[in-house]
Amino acid sequence: MAATRPDYVTMAGSARPPLPGESPGGNAEPGQRMRVTLMLRHATPLEAPGLGRRALRRDKFVARHGARGDDIERVRQFADASGLTVVSEDRARRVVLLEGTVAAMAEAFDTPLMRVEYQGQEFRAPGGDLRIPASLEPVVHGVFGLDTRPVAQPRFVIAHPDAVVGSFAVPDLAGLYGFPPAFNGLGQTIAIIELGGGFTTEDLDTYFSGLGLATPSVTPMPVDGSGNAPGDPADLEVMLDIEVVGSIAPAASILVYFAPNSEQGFVDAVSSAVTSSARPSAVSVSWGQAEKLYSASFLSSMDSVLQDAVALGVTVCVAAGDRGSSDGVGDGDQHADFPASSPHALACGGTILDSDDGTRIDSELVWNDDSGATGGGVSDVFPLPGWQFDAGVPPTVNASGFAGRGLPDVAADASPYTGYRIRADGSDQIAGGTSAVAPLWAGLIALMSQYLGPDGTGFLNLVLYGDTSAQQTCNDIVSGDNGSYPAGPGWDPCTGWGSPNGDRLLQVLGTWAFAQVQAGLI
């Protein structure tokens, strides 16, 4: 790598902190070929989310807010000057994909690329913050692919069969939560994000036939060279997501985006899903980790992708984590899980649900037992969004006292001891975790969107926080805690507004949509 270039500037916040237990190696193999995603700025900034604002059609979104043609041209010139190849450009996703050798990439971004060992595997990571030409500083939002270390964990928990005190077939759980049986997701698309694992048609056929349902349409969507690859521990996450969504909305089209578990894979998968021409009603994300373990550049870039989803009328449902208010970090502070902590995501927390006869909920409290606990709390990164001002979000309990985005927004059954009956890798299992809650809410949103028509629910958070009657569409959870935060009446940092009441949500959304039409807002 040449000496630091005077025409370059540092991309502050582009370096990730070391992973716990990683060990450095030598320089990465200079001749190895690699690909890097450059995320660019919006052509014009997006407006803050607002209740009643109509979702943009994809073509209008691209024309107004996609990448600028001259910005893409600047990246092309940079690539040519650096000996890199432009593989693809996508104005909707605001990305340009570049390819070149490790040596060329290190030179282009004025940063050494190193080998890193983590959990018995070898990865690549930059030796510090990246540097780019000053002319690109206002254009490039993030650079992803130089660092290949894992970036997220699946949020599922398996219970030992002897420990299960009650379990539910997903349709029965949907019945307890009042999901409207008249809707099945017909005409809707639901996207699922996976950073590993895969599914088999045999398992899906066996599972759905056992429920008396036809196997739904499930299409793998490869991202960055990954695809449906069963035979991995993450299979259980994949099957849980598909089976929960498919049980609730069996007539919906399910698109499963498989990507590498890296910053590049994660952001590329989510951006591909939310800007898809299939226009999903909802996107389900059951992967994440504590905010402090990401680079600031990744946090900002992923949040901008989720902001794109809001503009397009897509709710991204994200698991809030399974290790309580500390998110398992162990440094004495409390940590929010990302991407759930983004103010443009519907953060999904967990409960323990009891139903003696399977026809009514006898009790429901915050999930916190020896299997895990729901994530939740206050972001250390994202300030309190305007739509959350009146929810009673406390400042963080950390020393900073930061007034951040509070999470979760909603919740549902998550304890594996009262978990979901699923099938994975040829066997029936009981699973829980907030991994189950994200697809459950995504399925419910698809049912609501089927009822509401082309504009669907839009960004559900705006309705939940902006309409007091909408807040009554959740079963308020007032007992329990997730470590440092207790539950209580109304919104709380354990279960948000609470678990769903689908019948009431259907009524409120119908009334709300009618009022918006009458007012000429949608």
- Cβ(376)–Cβ(348) below 8 Å: no
Q: Could you tell me if 222 and 82 lie in one domain?
A: no
Q: Could you tell me if 467 and 419 lie in one domain?
A: yes
Looking at 298-302, 318-322, 464-468, which range is the least confident one?
A: 464-468
237 is catalytic: yes
Residue 517 has pLDDT above 60, yes or no: no
The confidence score (pLDDT) of residue 467 equals 72
Angstrom distance (rounded) from CA 329 to CA 137: 33
pTM of the model: 0.96
Angstrom distance (rounded) from CA 258 to CA 221: 6
From 110, 144, 178, give the residue that closes a domain: 144
pLDDT for 104-145, tens place per residue? Answer: 999 999 999 999 999 999 999 999 999 999 999 999 999 999
Q: What is the mean pLDDT of residues 358-379?
A: 95
Q: Could you tell me if 140 and 174 lie in one domain?
A: no
- Does any domain span residue 520? no
The confidence score (pLDDT) of residue 211 equals 97
- Does any domain span residue 451? yes
pLDDT for 445-464, tens place per residue? Answer: 999 999 998 778 889 998 89
Q: Could you tell me if 67 and 175 lie in one domain?
A: no
- Does any domain span residue 2? no
Q: Could you tell me if 274 and 405 lie in one domain?
A: yes
DSSP string for residues in 182-212: T---TT-EEEEEESS----HHHHHHHHHHTT
pLDDT band at 2 (very low <50, low <70, confident <90, very high): very low
Q: What is the mean pLDDT of residues 477-502?
A: 96
The confidence score (pLDDT) of residue 509 equals 85
Residue 163 has pLDDT above 70, yes or no: no
Q: Could you tell me if 386 and 430 lie in one domain?
A: yes
pLDDT band at 443 (very low <50, low <70, confident <90, very high): very high
Q: Could you tell me if 434 and 487 lie in one domain?
A: yes
From 91, 118, 144, give the residue that closes a domain: 144
The confidence score (pLDDT) of residue 456 equals 80
C-alpha angle 198-297-344 in degrees, rounded to nearest 5: 70
- Does any domain span residue 519? no
For residue 165, give the CATH number of its domain.
Answer: 3.40.50.200
Buried-state track 197-230, b at ≥16 Cβ within 10 A, e below 16: bbbbeebbeebbeebeeebbebebbebbebebbb
Q: Could you tell me if 399 and 463 lie in one domain?
A: yes
Q: Could you tell me if 136 and 228 lie in one domain?
A: no
State the chain's mean pLDDT as an integer. Answer: 93
Half-sphere exposure of 516 (CA within 13 A, CB side): 21
Which residue in the list 14, 253, 272, 435 is annotated as catalytic?
435
Q: What is the mean pLDDT of residues 289-302?
A: 96
Based on the structure, what is the number of domains in the chain? Answer: 2
Q: Could you tell me if 341 and 465 lie in one domain?
A: yes
Q: Could you tell me if 187 and 117 lie in one domain?
A: no
Select from 180, 176, 218 the least CA-distant residue to 198: 218
Residue, of 105 and 50, whose pLDDT is higher: 105
- Does any domain span residue 445? yes
122 is catalytic: no
Residue 165: other Cβ atoms inside 10 A: 11
Which residue in the list 110, 241, 303, 322 is annotated as catalytic?
241
Share of the chain above pLDDT 90, in %: 84
Q: Could you tell me if 161 and 92 lie in one domain?
A: no
Which residue in the list 107, 110, 237, 492 is annotated as catalytic?
237
pLDDT for 166-217, tens place per residue? Answer: 889 999 999 999 999 999 999 999 999 999 999 999 999 999 999 999 999 9
From 113, 144, 175, give the residue that closes a domain: 144
- Does any domain span residue 234? yes
- Does any domain span residue 522? no
Range of the domain at 256: 153-512
The helix/strand/coil state of 289 is strand
- Does any domain span residue 429? yes
